[in-house]
Chain A
């Protein structure tokens, strides 16, 4: 990555491990990721690839048996070294999280307005009345019809899409610099998904908020993200601008991921599942973690782990044999076509 870029959040050599009775699960290993102010970064990967745990760790929400390593620099502070009290002053104010399931992310015993006002009262020291007025304004901004009445209701009286809007409003209230949305559309149906994504795009633009979108839905990524980081077995295996990465994946895993989603403009048979299973993170495979499932794997892949290196401008990939030639910076398109024929 270019060093001149301003960064908001930077993860350096960041790891998350869990002590379990079966051994140590290395959920995230030696991860490096920078997020610039105002940009939208999608983190993509299969279940268990460590994408959620990465950011749970950033927010200090890991389970008791978790250990973190490396550094998480946010606005010039190392979040991992903060006490939970100091962390409470950052969480919600400078960075906020939107959870996957709006059905459970709201407290059923609290009125919408109390839940919204809570963060404002804590972080901005607003009075109850003032906080509730701002909450109402934010509800209107996230497009909730009849907000004056809705704000006095309880979560179970709202539909799923509306609840997700409330959750987003809650995250935006303190105007944080970073929002992490952990699969914000997975629990919603397709038409609502699109509305919510539009909302995210509009609001992050107008508030100049950086957005980290954790998802396994590549369709979501294409529509909204600036940059994509693909995670596999707790590591970033490829990272780059969304259009580059989609049109010319450098790493076989990304290419395989792309071919495993059904698309309207292709035959149904063209969908190819990735063979095999995600690796066991207690005993990760030697060398490149993807080699047991990669059909381009050679002996070197089994022996040595490829570093996450620059393959072309603004593109990083962890692969010994990337489809993009590091010098020429081309050939990706051919490679994608080629892989489809193999």
Chain B
């Protein structure tokens, strides 16, 4: 029954040469692998380029144009887009440059979306992974709480938060993030349930790692895929929420503006000044499409089997 010894020695002599030809280079993490696959996806790459352009323009653009978002140009009220005057997107009823307003609006919309999304990711991941990993009654209680939160009307909450936070839009959207984490928590919990049955979690437990470090070091890093995908899909959702709330008059207050506010203002004068709707609308649509394509690309990149 120890016959293998001879066979192995014979094999070792012939085949056990150190594998030096292995491709050197950086170690490939899950993330790096996914990014490599993402780069091969044309729609996603295009979307990333468009998105970066919009972000760069929104951040740097205002420094390069002669007008700001609140000062009226007394010589140009309701002016259509015109290259000669420098109002490339035209002006609104109050003579404010639309390009400047769109750039500021994009800034505000994106900031708000990023704040709300990061709040919802943080809360959702922690909540979901703890519920899923601890399991049992804790899980039951935590998930029923999520169900109750789901059942409460969203708009009612927003109005309550409005009362609490008043004029501070950014705080308001941090609070909206606190409502958005529900779905994230559910997704994360589901993933955690399947992850915790994997042997490496048991191995970690067998080597004396206690519950919290297991969740933080072994469960959460393995959630990157679904979390990143869901986060990219949450950002446009928040942008739309913000537009909707601004449309209702709950969002950003004048003279500061956001894409949603600009669109709602533009919509009311579509017959006389269509550019007021067209430009902010075009930016919003490209933003949403980019995020959708990136989210889609990421889903394929993190889970190539599902394609």
Contacts and interface: CB of A to CB of B under 8 A. Distances in A.
Contact of B206 (A59, A101, A193): A59
Interface in B200-234: 200, 202-210, 213, 217-218, 221-222, 224
Interface stretch (B4-12, B186-194, B272-280): B4-12
Interface in A66-121: 84-85, 87-93, 96-97, 99-101, 104-111, 114, 118-119
A108 B27 CA distance: 12
Contacts of B5: 194
B29 A109 contact: yes
B209 A122 contact: yes
A91 B221 contact: no
Interface string B1-43: 1111101100110000011100010011110000000000000
A154 B203 contact: no
B198 interface: yes
B304 interface: no
A219 B2 contact: yes
Contact-residue size bin, chain B (C-beta under 8 Å from the other chain): 35 or more
Tell which of A59, A90, A100 has the most Cβ of chain B within 10 Å. A59
Contacts of B199: 99-101, 104-105
B31 to A, nearest CB: 8
B209 A118 contact: yes
A101 B27 CA distance: 22
Nearest to A153: B27
A218 B208 contact: no
A61 interface: yes
B136 interface: yes
B207 A109 contact: no
B125 to A, nearest CB: 14
A236 B15 CA distance: 41
Contact of B208 (A92, A110, A111, A146): A92
Tell which of B135, B200, B206 has the most Cβ of chain A within 10 Å. B206
A123 B208 contact: yes
A145 B17 CA distance: 10
A319 to B, nearest CB: 24
A145 B217 CA distance: 27
Given A109-B221, A154-B29, A190-B4, A104 B198 contact: yes
A191 B2 contact: no
A222 interface: yes
Interface in A244-265: 263-264
Contacts of B217: 107, 110, 114, 118
Tell which of B4, B24, B217 has the most Cβ of chain A within 10 Å. B4
B30 A91 contact: no
A245 to B, nearest CB: 13
Tell which of B18, B204, B210 has the most Cβ of chain A within 10 Å. B204
A186 B203 CA distance: 17
Contacts of B2: 219, 222-223
A205 interface: no
A190 B198 CA distance: 25
Contact of A111 (B27, B202, B204, B207): B27
Given A152-B27, A167-B203, A88 B8 contact: no
A64 B138 CA distance: 14
A6 interface: no
A157 interface: yes
Nearest to A102: B199
Interface in A150-194: 152-154, 156-157, 167, 170-171, 190-191, 193-194
B11 A91 contact: no
Contacts of B222: 107-109
A330 interface: no
Contacts of A190: 4, 7
Interface in A211-241: 218-219, 222-223
Contact of A219 (B1, B11, B18): B1
Given A91-B207, A92-B206, A107 B218 contact: yes
B35 to A, nearest CB: 14
A141 interface: no
Contacts of A286: none
Contact of A96 (B4, B28, B206): B206
Tell which of A59, A87, A194 has the most Cβ of chain B within 10 Å. A194
A104 B222 CA distance: 13
B229 to A, nearest CB: 16
B18 A145 contact: yes
B206 to A, nearest CB: 4
A334 interface: no
B205 A157 contact: no
A138 to B, nearest CB: 14
Given A104-B199, A107-B218, A91 B205 contact: yes
Given A107-B222, A110-B221, A190-B4, A97 B206 contact: yes
A92 B206 CA distance: 6
Contacts of B206: 59, 61, 91-92, 96-97, 99
Nearest to B210: A88
10 contacts: A59-B205, A84-B210, A91-B207, A92-B209, A109-B30, A109-B221, A111-B29, A118-B204, A118-B213, A153-B27
Given A59-B206, A193-B4, 10 more contacts: A100-B199, A101-B199, A111-B29, A119-B208, A146-B18, A154-B30, A157-B27, A191-B8, A223-B1, A263-B1
CB-CB nearest 3 A-B residue pairs: A92-B208, A92-B207, A109-B221
